[in-house]
Structure 1
Amino acid sequence: MDEGVGVLRLGDIAPGDAAALLARHGLELVAVDDGAPIPGSYWGAPEAGIIGTRVYARADTPVHSLLHEACHLIVLPPERRALVHTDATDSVPEEDATCYLQIVLADDLPGVGRARLMADMDAWGYTFRLGSTRAWFEHDAGDARAWLAERGLPTG
Protein backbone atom coordinates (compact mmCIF):
# COMPACT_ATOMS: atom_id res chain seq x y z
CA MET A 1 0.00 0.00 0.00
CA ASP A 2 1.30 3.40 -0.97
CA GLU A 3 -0.10 6.17 1.19
CA GLY A 4 1.10 8.75 -1.33
CA VAL A 5 -1.22 7.67 -4.16
CA GLY A 6 -4.07 9.99 -5.09
CA VAL A 7 -7.00 7.91 -3.90
CA LEU A 8 -10.27 9.40 -2.66
CA ARG A 9 -10.24 10.00 1.07
CA LEU A 10 -13.16 10.35 3.46
CA GLY A 11 -12.43 14.08 3.64
CA ASP A 12 -12.97 14.31 -0.15
CA ILE A 13 -16.61 13.23 0.07
CA ALA A 14 -19.54 14.28 2.24
CA PRO A 15 -19.06 12.31 5.47
CA GLY A 16 -22.82 12.34 5.98
CA ASP A 17 -23.20 10.27 2.80
CA ALA A 18 -20.79 7.65 4.12
CA ALA A 19 -22.49 7.62 7.53
CA ALA A 20 -25.91 7.20 5.92
CA LEU A 21 -24.70 4.32 3.74
CA LEU A 22 -23.26 2.51 6.74
CA ALA A 23 -26.39 3.18 8.82
CA ARG A 24 -28.53 1.49 6.13
CA HIS A 25 -26.55 -1.64 6.92
CA GLY A 26 -26.75 -1.35 10.70
CA LEU A 27 -23.31 0.19 11.14
CA GLU A 28 -22.07 3.42 12.69
CA LEU A 29 -19.33 5.59 11.24
CA VAL A 30 -17.17 7.01 14.02
CA ALA A 31 -15.02 10.00 13.08
CA VAL A 32 -11.49 9.93 14.46
CA ASP A 33 -9.54 13.17 14.94
CA ASP A 34 -6.77 13.95 12.46
CA GLY A 35 -3.50 12.38 13.56
CA ALA A 36 -5.11 10.17 16.23
CA PRO A 37 -4.75 6.40 16.11
CA ILE A 38 -7.67 4.63 14.44
CA PRO A 39 -9.24 2.06 16.79
CA GLY A 40 -9.63 -1.39 15.30
CA SER A 41 -7.41 -0.69 12.27
CA TYR A 42 -5.80 -3.92 11.08
CA TRP A 43 -3.15 -2.17 8.96
CA GLY A 44 -2.84 1.00 11.06
CA ALA A 45 -3.65 4.57 10.12
CA PRO A 46 -4.91 5.82 7.78
CA GLU A 47 -6.78 2.54 7.19
CA ALA A 48 -10.28 2.26 8.65
CA GLY A 49 -10.89 0.21 11.76
CA ILE A 50 -13.75 -1.98 12.93
CA ILE A 51 -15.02 -2.89 16.36
CA GLY A 52 -18.45 -4.49 16.66
CA THR A 53 -20.85 -2.47 14.51
CA ARG A 54 -18.64 0.61 14.42
CA VAL A 55 -16.35 1.65 11.58
CA TYR A 56 -13.64 4.13 12.59
CA ALA A 57 -12.08 6.51 10.10
CA ARG A 58 -10.25 9.83 9.80
CA ALA A 59 -10.51 12.42 7.06
CA ASP A 60 -7.39 10.89 5.46
CA THR A 61 -8.82 7.35 5.46
CA PRO A 62 -9.19 6.09 1.89
CA VAL A 63 -12.82 5.59 0.87
CA HIS A 64 -11.93 2.10 -0.40
CA SER A 65 -10.66 1.22 3.08
CA LEU A 66 -13.78 2.59 4.76
CA LEU A 67 -15.98 0.54 2.41
CA HIS A 68 -13.81 -2.56 2.69
CA GLU A 69 -13.92 -2.65 6.48
CA ALA A 70 -17.64 -1.82 6.53
CA CYS A 71 -18.30 -4.63 4.08
CA HIS A 72 -16.41 -7.06 6.30
CA LEU A 73 -19.10 -6.36 8.88
CA ILE A 74 -22.00 -6.32 6.42
CA VAL A 75 -21.23 -9.83 5.15
CA LEU A 76 -21.30 -11.19 8.69
CA PRO A 77 -24.47 -12.26 10.49
CA PRO A 78 -25.33 -9.80 13.31
CA GLU A 79 -24.27 -12.24 16.03
CA ARG A 80 -20.75 -12.45 14.55
CA ARG A 81 -20.49 -8.67 14.03
CA ALA A 82 -20.71 -8.08 17.76
CA LEU A 83 -17.55 -10.15 18.28
CA VAL A 84 -15.38 -8.39 15.70
CA HIS A 85 -12.42 -6.36 16.85
CA THR A 86 -9.88 -5.34 14.19
CA ASP A 87 -9.78 -8.60 12.19
CA ALA A 88 -13.11 -9.70 10.73
CA THR A 89 -12.28 -12.94 8.96
CA ASP A 90 -9.74 -15.44 7.80
CA SER A 91 -12.17 -16.84 5.23
CA VAL A 92 -11.25 -16.45 1.56
CA PRO A 93 -14.91 -16.56 0.44
CA GLU A 94 -15.81 -13.80 2.94
CA GLU A 95 -12.83 -11.71 1.82
CA ASP A 96 -13.82 -12.07 -1.82
CA ALA A 97 -17.44 -11.18 -0.99
CA THR A 98 -16.18 -8.14 0.94
CA CYS A 99 -14.14 -6.92 -2.04
CA TYR A 100 -17.07 -7.43 -4.40
CA LEU A 101 -19.58 -5.70 -2.11
CA GLN A 102 -17.34 -2.67 -1.54
CA ILE A 103 -17.31 -2.11 -5.30
CA VAL A 104 -21.10 -2.43 -5.53
CA LEU A 105 -21.69 -0.07 -2.60
CA ALA A 106 -19.34 2.55 -4.06
CA ASP A 107 -22.17 3.41 -6.45
CA ASP A 108 -24.22 4.51 -3.42
CA LEU A 109 -21.69 7.20 -2.53
CA PRO A 110 -22.04 10.43 -4.54
CA GLY A 111 -18.75 11.33 -6.17
CA VAL A 112 -17.31 7.82 -5.82
CA GLY A 113 -18.83 5.03 -7.94
CA ARG A 114 -17.43 1.66 -8.80
CA ALA A 115 -15.06 2.78 -11.58
CA ARG A 116 -13.24 5.21 -9.29
CA LEU A 117 -13.21 2.75 -6.41
CA MET A 118 -11.70 0.00 -8.57
CA ALA A 119 -9.02 2.41 -9.82
CA ASP A 120 -8.24 3.38 -6.23
CA MET A 121 -8.06 -0.28 -5.19
CA ASP A 122 -5.51 -0.91 -7.95
CA ALA A 123 -3.51 2.20 -7.02
CA TRP A 124 -3.45 1.17 -3.36
CA GLY A 125 -2.13 -2.29 -4.19
CA TYR A 126 -5.05 -4.71 -4.07
CA THR A 127 -4.08 -7.68 -6.21
CA PHE A 128 -6.25 -10.03 -8.23
CA ARG A 129 -5.15 -12.92 -10.41
CA LEU A 130 -6.49 -11.30 -13.61
CA GLY A 131 -4.26 -8.28 -13.01
CA SER A 132 -6.79 -5.61 -12.05
CA THR A 133 -9.77 -5.07 -9.83
CA ARG A 134 -12.02 -4.40 -12.84
CA ALA A 135 -10.96 -7.62 -14.61
CA TRP A 136 -11.62 -9.62 -11.43
CA PHE A 137 -14.98 -7.94 -10.81
CA GLU A 138 -16.20 -8.38 -14.39
CA HIS A 139 -14.74 -11.80 -15.26
CA ASP A 140 -13.63 -13.74 -12.17
CA ALA A 141 -15.87 -12.89 -9.23
CA GLY A 142 -18.80 -15.21 -9.84
CA ASP A 143 -18.12 -17.05 -6.61
CA ALA A 144 -18.19 -13.81 -4.61
CA ARG A 145 -21.38 -12.69 -6.34
CA ALA A 146 -23.03 -16.07 -5.63
CA TRP A 147 -21.87 -15.95 -1.98
CA LEU A 148 -23.52 -12.54 -1.55
CA ALA A 149 -26.70 -13.57 -3.39
CA GLU A 150 -27.09 -16.68 -1.20
CA ARG A 151 -27.18 -14.35 1.82
CA GLY A 152 -29.51 -11.78 0.30
CA LEU A 153 -26.79 -9.13 0.03
CA PRO A 154 -26.44 -6.68 -2.87
CA THR A 155 -24.72 -7.97 -6.00
CA GLY A 156 -25.22 -5.03 -8.10
Structure 2
Amino acid sequence: MLHLGDIDAEALGDLLRAHGLQLHVIADDQPIPGSFWGEPEAGLIGSTVFARRDTPVHSVLHESCNLIVMPAERRERIHTDATDSIAEEDAACYLQIVLADSLPDVGSERLMADMDEWGYTFRLGSTRAWFEGDACETRSWLQARTLLPAQAIP
Protein backbone atom coordinates (compact mmCIF):
# COMPACT_ATOMS: atom_id res chain seq x y z
CA MET A 1 0.00 0.00 0.00
CA LEU A 2 1.40 3.35 -1.04
CA HIS A 3 1.25 5.97 1.74
CA LEU A 4 1.50 9.75 1.71
CA GLY A 5 4.99 9.50 3.24
CA ASP A 6 6.10 7.44 0.21
CA ILE A 7 5.31 10.10 -2.38
CA ASP A 8 5.93 13.77 -3.14
CA ALA A 9 3.29 15.34 -0.88
CA GLU A 10 4.00 18.73 -2.40
CA ALA A 11 2.96 17.45 -5.84
CA LEU A 12 -0.23 16.08 -4.31
CA GLY A 13 -0.87 19.41 -2.60
CA ASP A 14 -0.38 21.21 -5.93
CA LEU A 15 -2.87 18.87 -7.59
CA LEU A 16 -5.45 19.51 -4.89
CA ARG A 17 -4.93 23.28 -5.02
CA ALA A 18 -5.65 23.15 -8.76
CA HIS A 19 -9.09 21.86 -7.76
CA GLY A 20 -9.68 24.44 -5.04
CA LEU A 21 -8.71 22.13 -2.17
CA GLN A 22 -6.06 22.21 0.55
CA LEU A 23 -3.98 19.30 1.79
CA HIS A 24 -3.22 19.55 5.50
CA VAL A 25 -0.60 17.04 6.62
CA ILE A 26 -1.03 16.15 10.29
CA ALA A 27 1.88 15.15 12.52
CA ASP A 28 2.40 11.40 12.77
CA ASP A 29 1.22 11.23 16.38
CA GLN A 30 -1.93 13.35 15.91
CA PRO A 31 -5.50 12.25 15.17
CA ILE A 32 -6.84 12.89 11.65
CA PRO A 33 -9.78 15.31 11.74
CA GLY A 34 -12.84 14.42 9.69
CA SER A 35 -11.84 10.81 8.95
CA PHE A 36 -14.94 8.81 8.01
CA TRP A 37 -13.20 5.42 8.09
CA GLY A 38 -10.95 6.19 11.05
CA GLU A 39 -7.22 6.54 11.16
CA PRO A 40 -5.06 6.37 9.15
CA GLU A 41 -7.65 7.20 6.47
CA ALA A 42 -7.92 10.75 5.13
CA GLY A 43 -10.41 13.22 6.59
CA LEU A 44 -12.50 16.06 5.21
CA ILE A 45 -13.66 19.34 6.64
CA GLY A 46 -14.84 21.89 4.12
CA SER A 47 -12.27 22.20 1.32
CA THR A 48 -9.46 20.75 3.41
CA VAL A 49 -8.25 17.16 3.14
CA PHE A 50 -6.42 15.95 6.23
CA ALA A 51 -3.84 13.16 6.15
CA ARG A 52 -0.76 11.83 7.88
CA ARG A 53 2.34 10.24 6.40
CA ASP A 54 0.76 6.80 7.07
CA THR A 55 -2.46 7.67 5.21
CA PRO A 56 -2.89 5.59 2.05
CA VAL A 57 -2.59 7.66 -1.12
CA HIS A 58 -5.81 6.14 -2.49
CA SER A 59 -7.61 7.46 0.60
CA VAL A 60 -6.31 11.01 0.11
CA LEU A 61 -7.26 10.93 -3.56
CA HIS A 62 -10.66 9.38 -2.92
CA GLU A 63 -11.69 11.89 -0.28
CA SER A 64 -10.33 14.71 -2.44
CA CYS A 65 -12.31 13.46 -5.42
CA ASN A 66 -15.45 13.29 -3.27
CA LEU A 67 -15.03 17.05 -2.83
CA ILE A 68 -14.15 17.69 -6.48
CA VAL A 69 -17.25 15.96 -7.86
CA MET A 70 -19.76 17.59 -5.52
CA PRO A 71 -21.43 20.91 -6.26
CA ALA A 72 -19.34 23.81 -4.94
CA GLU A 73 -22.17 25.11 -2.75
CA ARG A 74 -22.12 21.85 -0.75
CA ARG A 75 -18.36 21.62 -0.36
CA GLU A 76 -17.92 24.15 2.47
CA ARG A 77 -20.54 22.38 4.63
CA ILE A 78 -18.82 19.01 4.43
CA HIS A 79 -17.52 17.43 7.59
CA THR A 80 -16.36 13.81 7.56
CA ASP A 81 -19.03 12.27 5.25
CA ALA A 82 -19.01 13.58 1.69
CA THR A 83 -21.08 10.94 -0.07
CA ASP A 84 -24.37 12.20 -1.43
CA SER A 85 -25.17 9.63 -4.11
CA ILE A 86 -23.96 6.50 -5.83
CA ALA A 87 -23.18 8.59 -8.93
CA GLU A 88 -20.88 10.88 -6.91
CA GLU A 89 -19.20 7.95 -5.18
CA ASP A 90 -18.56 6.21 -8.51
CA ALA A 91 -17.28 9.50 -9.96
CA ALA A 92 -14.85 9.89 -7.04
CA CYS A 93 -13.55 6.35 -7.62
CA TYR A 94 -13.06 6.97 -11.33
CA LEU A 95 -11.50 10.40 -10.96
CA GLN A 96 -9.02 9.25 -8.31
CA ILE A 97 -7.68 6.70 -10.78
CA VAL A 98 -7.34 9.34 -13.50
CA LEU A 99 -5.67 11.87 -11.20
CA ALA A 100 -3.21 9.26 -9.90
CA ASP A 101 -1.51 9.35 -13.30
CA SER A 102 -0.56 12.99 -12.75
CA LEU A 103 1.36 12.21 -9.57
CA PRO A 104 5.01 11.15 -9.67
CA ASP A 105 5.55 7.69 -8.16
CA VAL A 106 1.82 6.88 -8.08
CA GLY A 107 0.02 6.21 -11.39
CA SER A 108 -3.30 4.57 -12.08
CA GLU A 109 -1.92 1.00 -12.12
CA ARG A 110 -0.55 1.28 -8.60
CA LEU A 111 -3.63 3.10 -7.34
CA MET A 112 -6.00 0.44 -8.70
CA ALA A 113 -3.93 -2.29 -7.05
CA ASP A 114 -4.05 -0.43 -3.74
CA MET A 115 -7.81 0.09 -4.09
CA ASP A 116 -8.24 -3.67 -4.54
CA GLU A 117 -5.95 -4.40 -1.58
CA TRP A 118 -7.90 -1.97 0.63
CA GLY A 119 -11.19 -3.63 -0.25
CA TYR A 120 -13.00 -1.48 -2.80
CA THR A 121 -15.59 -3.73 -4.41
CA PHE A 122 -16.87 -3.64 -7.96
CA ARG A 123 -19.29 -6.06 -9.59
CA LEU A 124 -16.71 -7.15 -12.19
CA GLY A 125 -14.36 -8.21 -9.40
CA SER A 126 -11.57 -5.66 -9.58
CA THR A 127 -10.98 -1.95 -9.82
CA ARG A 128 -9.30 -2.35 -13.21
CA ALA A 129 -12.17 -4.40 -14.66
CA TRP A 130 -14.66 -1.76 -13.50
CA PHE A 131 -12.55 1.17 -14.73
CA GLU A 132 -11.90 -0.34 -18.15
CA GLY A 133 -15.16 -2.17 -18.80
CA ASP A 134 -18.02 -1.02 -16.60
CA ALA A 135 -17.59 2.68 -15.87
CA CYS A 136 -19.02 4.23 -19.05
CA GLU A 137 -21.93 5.83 -17.15
CA THR A 138 -19.51 7.27 -14.62
CA ARG A 139 -17.21 8.58 -17.33
CA SER A 140 -20.22 10.23 -19.03
CA TRP A 141 -21.31 11.73 -15.69
CA LEU A 142 -17.85 13.25 -15.21
CA GLN A 143 -17.66 14.46 -18.82
CA ALA A 144 -21.06 16.15 -18.56
CA ARG A 145 -19.70 18.15 -15.62
CA THR A 146 -16.34 18.80 -17.32
CA LEU A 147 -14.53 17.10 -14.46
CA LEU A 148 -12.23 14.87 -16.52
CA PRO A 149 -8.88 16.19 -17.70
CA ALA A 150 -8.83 16.38 -21.52
CA GLN A 151 -6.14 13.69 -21.79
CA ALA A 152 -8.34 11.27 -19.82
CA ILE A 153 -11.28 11.43 -22.23
CA PRO A 154 -11.24 8.46 -24.61
- TM-score if structure 2 supplies the norm length? 0.95
Does 2:6 match 1:12? yes
Q: Of residues 78, 85, 88 in structure 1, which corresponds to 2:72?
A: 78
Count of aligned residue pairs for this structure pair: 150
Shift of 1:71: 0.1
Q: Counterparts of 2:19 and 2:102 in 1: how far apart (Å)? A: 12
Q: Counterparts of 1:61 and 1:154 in 2: how far apart (Å)? A: 25
Q: Counterparts of 1:47 and 1:144 in 2: how far apart (Å)? A: 24
Aligned-residue Cα RMSD (Å) equals 0.8
Q: Aligned AA for 2:62?
A: H
Please list every run of at least 4 consecutive aligned residues from structure 1 whose deviation after the TM superposition is greater than 3 angstroms: none
Q: Counterparts of 1:35 and 1:150 in 2: how far apart (Å)? A: 42
Q: Of residues 84, 87, 108 in structure 2, which corresponds to 1:90?
A: 84
Q: Counterparts of 1:144 and 1:132 in 2: how far apart (Å)? A: 16
Q: Of residues 135, 145, 148 in structure 2, which corresponds to 1:151?
A: 145
Q: Of residues 16, 24, 32 in structure 2, which corresponds to 1:30?
A: 24
Q: 1:112 maps to which residue?
A: 106
Q: Counterparts of 1:46 and 1:13 in 2: how far apart (Å)? A: 16
Does 2:114 match 1:136? no
Shift of 1:11: 0.1
Q: Deviations over 1:21-42 (max 9, x none)?
A: 1000000000111131100100
Q: Share of identical aligned residues, percent?
A: 65
Runs (5+) with no aligned partner, structure 2: none
Q: Deviations over 1:84-132 (max 9, x none)?
A: 1000123001000000000000001101000000000001111100000
Shift of 1:76: 1.2
Runs (5+) with no aligned partner, structure 1: 1-6
Does 2:37 match 1:40? no
Shift of 1:58: 0.1
Q: Counterparts of 1:60 and 1:101 in 2: how far apart (Å)? A: 22
